[in-house]
Amino acid sequence: MAYQDHLLTWVVMVPSMMLPTTVPHVRYVGFGTRAGRVQRSILLFVLGYLTSWLVPGLLLAAVPLPASASVLAVSALAAGAWEMTPVKRRALLRCCRTWPVRYAGPAADASAVEYGMRHALGCMVISGPAMAVLMLAGHPWWAVVALAVVMAAQKLLTRPQRWRALVALAWLAAGLAAAGVAAFG
Amino acid sequence: MLTSELFAGDDLLERIAADGPERISRFLNDTDPAVGKVQQALLLWNPAILPFHGADGTYGSETAAAVVQFKTLELQVPPDQLFDDVGPRTVRRLDEIAKAAEPPPEPPQEQGFVRQDVYQLQPPGAPVHPILAAYAVAVRELKRDAGPPHRTWAHHTQVHGMNPDPGDGLRNQCQHFCWYFLPWHRMYLHAFEAICRAIIVESPDVDDDTKATWALPYWDYDRDDTRELPPAFREPALDGAPNPLFEPARDLGINSPVQFRGEPAPRLARLVPEQTTAQGWFLSTPYSNPFDPAFAGTETGFNHASAPNAVPGPLEITPHGSVHVFVGGRFGKMSDFNQAAGDPIFWLHHANLDRLWEVWRGSTGLGLDPSGSRFIDRTFDFLDASGQRIQPSCGSVLNLANLGYSYADTSIPASAGAGGPMDDPNRGPQPPRERRRPPRRVGAADEPVRLQGDAATVEFATDTPQTRGNERFLVSVEHISADDLPNAEWGVYLQPTSGEPVLIGTLPLFGLRESRRTDAEHELSYQFDITELVNRLDAEGRWDPDRFRATLAPVNAVPEDAEPDPDVVIGTIALLIQ
């Protein structure tokens, strides 16, 4: 696949996988702004959100894909380790945090973009490493679906930080499997 | 004074025990009813000691020989001083044996316990009431922190809040800013009360009447004569020992008088009516809504602020948050989720909130209990009086009769401004309300509002419809952040086109510390329903539909020695229509 194809896949994959947990924020922005400019604010929120995600996408799309089994093994183990960091725990707890939305005018435009970027940054801290592994694996559809379910559950379930160990173990298993393929496959 | 059920109240035995001259022997009082009691007590000491006649009520040779044996073996009386009669030492020791043989007192059945007003139990100047003394006994025992978890003060404090979360599903479980706030705290108090009662029933320092009736009191602070912390909680000493109900980590003026700014003499801190009024919560319906707080907070998942729509209900703001911050101040326990339940007044404060929920359920909220499975089947974990883990559901705690307690007074508070249909005892269940759509903003401040000095103002244009229907008006005060709690509680006042500003609500900021932590889920946000106020001002020609004006000002006095006020910033103030 060419660079632009990988980038396009990234841009489609990210919002699709993040949709369930982003909808409440889209609604918050929509109901927080003047009636006549709801679509405009939502569009600006999405723009800020996708632009933020585009930055790591630009870098990852430059990597030859799919990556080798050893690279996958290392990245999966790194994603597992990331699950157990305090940074990830804090990000999960802050996942539902809202930001002030201005009512009208340029301030409303700026606040919608800023909200989208702040929310994207939080999502990247939570899901960025997992999304990177998925990209390096060549984004196989079954893995995309499985990871989307895990990430949505992690954000939406009660006390999400409690499920981190389980997710980390799953990454460990995936990393060891990839390492096995690298060594013996 | 004889204490066993067998001997107590028997005149002859009481006189002998009091070193009187009378005796029981083969020649004196040998058929008195007391003889049968002595024989029963001897049989408790040694079941084989009266093999032929048993407790026949006659003081014959067998009973005389048994008494001699008792005196020899139990009382160690030398042979040269032995007589076969019943004297004071024999009666007193047999009384002790009979008392020890009595089955332990049964914990009273959990039926009909009545939670009473702490100020009715002990008005200022009155001695400590037995119900409060018994509560002190339970708190003292818990504060030893020496027993199993459910018998420790630390555990009960941590059930409310603990950082970091131990992840055991029992601690750090408090529910705020959501519709589980009221049922979770009801379960919490019920479990705590049962544990206190078990301790009280075991205590030799509590009388039987108190043991049989003890229930957690409540603090009804919405009256002019009850606005100071109840006296029993202010005294550092109780009966010559440290008072377990006293907590030094409270705000200035709570435990002892201090000088307030601009006032002539020192005094105790007093809640002001704005901090205790029922105006905000009493008329609010339904119980909850998905997108606005209604009576009890927005419908969310577990825990405070776990969703973008998380907002507390009006009862959770005032008086709940207001009283927490009033007692705790900037540095006290009551202002902190993780320490609040460590102040013994916490439990009386929440008993009152639980009572106010009952007031609402019996009047404005009649027939409006939530019925969906997300609420009814939601369970939370606690430890019961035996230390076993229990999982009551929200549905199981709606009806107080199922929990075995009631409140001495569930009349509508005067501050509710009720009168008319709400006071009608024959008023039937309310029809179910339709699920509302999210409220929409019709105007908002275009920059943050800073609370500094004596007052702040906010004003913005609104897009409210020119023709009025049955809209609901809400004022949303969102994304409040601060370096610390302010010294005073700020009120939000609507400024009509003419006349004095009218109170919309207060901003107690309970939970501010938690909202400032790096893993905080949210900044603080409040919503106030001002529909009734807008309708009234509109009818009086004092409502401007095109412009919203509000003033923010402290509602209570500040002690002279208070720390400088921190910077408090409100991210947005908006007017919403539904």
- Cβ contacts (< 8 Å) between B310 and chain A: which residues? 96
Looking at residue A61, its amino acid is A
Q: B530 and B559 share a domain? A: yes
Rounded-to-integer distance, Cα A11 and Cα A46, Å = 12
Q: What are phi and psi of B235, to 5 degrees?
A: -85, 125
| B520 has pLDDT over 90 | no
Contact B379, B392 (CB under 8 A): yes
Looking at B423, B450, B484, the residue that finishes a domain is: B423
Give the residue with greater pLDDT, B332 vs A20.
Answer: B332
Would strands B382-383 and B389-390 be described as parallel, antiparallel, or unpaired? antiparallel
- Cβ contacts (< 8 Å) between B443 and chain A: which residues? 103
Q: Does A159 contact chain B (CB < 8 Å)?
A: yes
Tally of structural domains, chain B: 3
**What Cα–Cα distance (Å) separates residue B212 from each residue in A34, A120, B109, B151, B332?**
61, 60, 9, 20, 34
Q: Within a domain: residue B275?
A: no
Cβ distance A96 to B572 less than 8 Å, yes or no, reads: no
Q: Report which of B219, B213, B220 is spatially closest to residue B404, judged by C-alpha positions.
A: B213
Q: Look at residue A158 in the predicted model and tell me its pLDDT.
A: 58
Q: Within a domain: residue B199?
A: yes
- For chain A, positions 53-82, list CB contacts with chain B under 8 A: none
Cβ distance A90 to B302 less than 8 Å, yes or no, reads: no
Domain ranges of chain A: 3-184
Percent of chain B clearing pLDDT 70 (strictly above): 93
Nearest neighbour of A158 by CB, restricted to B165, B301, B310: B301
Looking at B391, B423, B455, the residue that finishes a domain is: B423
Mean pLDDT over each residue of chain A, to the nearest integer: 86
Mean pLDDT of the A144-169 span: 75
Nearest neighbour of B521 by CB, restricted to A27, A96, A156: A96
Q: B228 and B354 share a domain? A: yes
Q: B479 and B537 share a domain? A: yes
Cβ distance A33 to B441 less than 8 Å, yes or no, reads: yes
Q: Look at residue B105 in the predicted model and tell me its pLDDT.
A: 66
The CATH number of residue B160's host domain is 1.10.1280.10
Interface with chain B: mutation pick from A103, A109, A154, A162, highest number of B CBs within 10 Å: A103
Would strands B473-482 and B456-461 be described as parallel, antiparallel, or unpaired? unpaired
Contact B75, B90 (CB under 8 A): yes
Rounded-to-integer distance, Cα B553 and Cα B506, Å = 9
- Cβ contacts (< 8 Å) between A156 and chain B: which residues? 301
Looking at B49, B72, B101, the residue that finishes a domain is: B101
Q: What are phi and psi of B413, to 5 degrees?
A: -60, 145
Would strands B547-554 and B490-494 be described as parallel, antiparallel, or unpaired? antiparallel
Q: Look at residue B521 in the predicted model and tell me its pLDDT.
A: 57
Query: Looking at CA atoms only, how far is residue A94 from chain B in angstroms?
Result: 4
Query: Looking at CA atoms only, how far is residue B250 from chain A in angstroms?
Result: 30
Q: Within a domain: residue B210?
A: yes
Rounded-to-integer distance, Cα B119 and Cα B234, Å = 13
pLDDT confidence of B548, banded at 50, 70, 90? very high
Nearest neighbour of B308 by CB, restricted to A25, A90, A161: A25
Taking an 8 Å Cβ-Cβ cutoff, which residues of chain B contact chain A?
A: 165, 167, 291, 301-303, 305-310, 438-444, 446-448, 460, 463, 478-479, 518-523, 571-572, 574
Q: Report which of B443, B437, B435, B434 is spatially closest to residue B576, judged by C-alpha positions.
A: B443
**What Cα–Cα distance (Å) separates residue B562 from each residue in B152, B258, B481?**
34, 10, 20
Mean pLDDT of the B154-160 span: 96
Helices B181-202, B153-160: crossing angle, 10 deg rounding: 170
Q: Provide the greatest CA pair distance for chain B.
A: 110
- Cβ contacts (< 8 Å) between A27 and chain B: which residues? 308, 438
Q: B159 and B122 share a domain? A: yes
Interface with chain B: mutation pick from A25, A96, A114, A158, highest number of B CBs within 10 Å: A96
- Cβ contacts (< 8 Å) between B303 and chain A: which residues? 158-159
Q: B232 and B346 share a domain? A: yes
Q: Which residues face B481 on adjacent strands? A: B569
Mean pLDDT over each residue of chain B, to the nearest integer: 90
Q: Does A101 contact chain B (CB < 8 Å)?
A: yes
Q: B353 and B463 share a domain? A: no
pLDDT confidence of A152, banded at 50, 70, 90? confident
Rounded-to-integer distance, Cα B76 and Cα A115, Å = 88
Q: Does A163 contact chain B (CB < 8 Å)?
A: no
- Cβ contacts (< 8 Å) between A20 and chain B: which residues? none
When mean pLDDT is compared across A94-103, A116-125, B13-22, the lowest value belongs to A94-103
A100 CB contacts (<8 Å, ≥6 apart)? A111, B448, B478, B479, B571, B572
Q: Does A99 contact chain B (CB < 8 Å)?
A: yes
Q: B327 and B406 share a domain? A: yes
Q: Look at residue B519 in the predicted model and tell me its pLDDT.
A: 60
Q: Does A29 contact chain B (CB < 8 Å)?
A: no
pLDDT confidence of B435, banded at 50, 70, 90? low
Q: Give the tens place of pLDDT for each residue, B58-117.
A: 899 889 999 999 999 889 888 888 889 999 999 999 999 988 888 776 655 545 899 999
Q: Give the tens place of pLDDT for each residue, B442-483.
A: 999 989 999 987 899 999 999 987 777 778 899 999 999 888
Cβ distance B446 to A100 less than 8 Å, yes or no, reads: no
Give the residue with greater pLDDT, B484 vs B218.
Answer: B218
Rounded-to-integer distance, Cα B425 and Cα B363, Å = 8
Query: Looking at CA atoms only, how far is residue B140 from chain A in angstroms?
Result: 34
Q: Which domain holds residue B572?
A: 440-577
Nearest neighbour of B444 by CB, restricted to A27, A102, A156: A102
Query: Looking at CA atoms only, how far is residue A123 from chain B in angstroms?
Result: 14
pLDDT confidence of B1, banded at 50, 70, 90? confident
Q: B162 and B94 share a domain? A: no
Query: Looking at CA atoms only, how far is residue B190 from chain A in angstroms?
Result: 24
Q: Look at residue A10 in the predicted model and tell me its pLDDT.
A: 85
Q: Give the tens place of pLDDT for each residue, A5-64.
A: 888 888 888 888 888 788 889 999 999 999 999 999 999 999 999 999 999 989 888 888
Q: B221 and B369 share a domain? A: yes
pLDDT confidence of A127, banded at 50, 70, 90? confident
| B421 has pLDDT over 50 | no
Q: B21 and B69 share a domain? A: yes
Q: Look at residue B290 in the predicted model and tell me its pLDDT.
A: 85
Predicted complex ipTM: 0.81
- Cβ contacts (< 8 Å) between A32 and chain B: which residues? 441, 444, 574
A119-122: long-range contacts (C-beta < 8 A, 24 or more apart)?
A119/A22, A119/A25, A119/A45, A119/A49, A120/A48, A120/A49, A120/A50, A120/A51, A120/A52, A120/A53, A121/A52, A122/A91, A122/A94, A122/A95, A122/A97
Q: B132 and B97 share a domain? A: no
Contact B472, B529 (CB under 8 A): yes
Q: Give the tens place of pLDDT for each residue, B272-294.
A: 999 999 999 998 989 998 888 89
Using DSSP's 3-state secondary structure scheme, residue B384 falls into: coil
Q: B500 and B562 share a domain? A: yes
Query: Looking at CA atoms only, how far is residue A102 from chain B in angstroms?
Result: 6
The CATH number of residue B486's host domain is 2.60.120
| B212 has pLDDT over 90 | yes
Q: Look at residue A157 in the predicted model and tell me its pLDDT.
A: 65
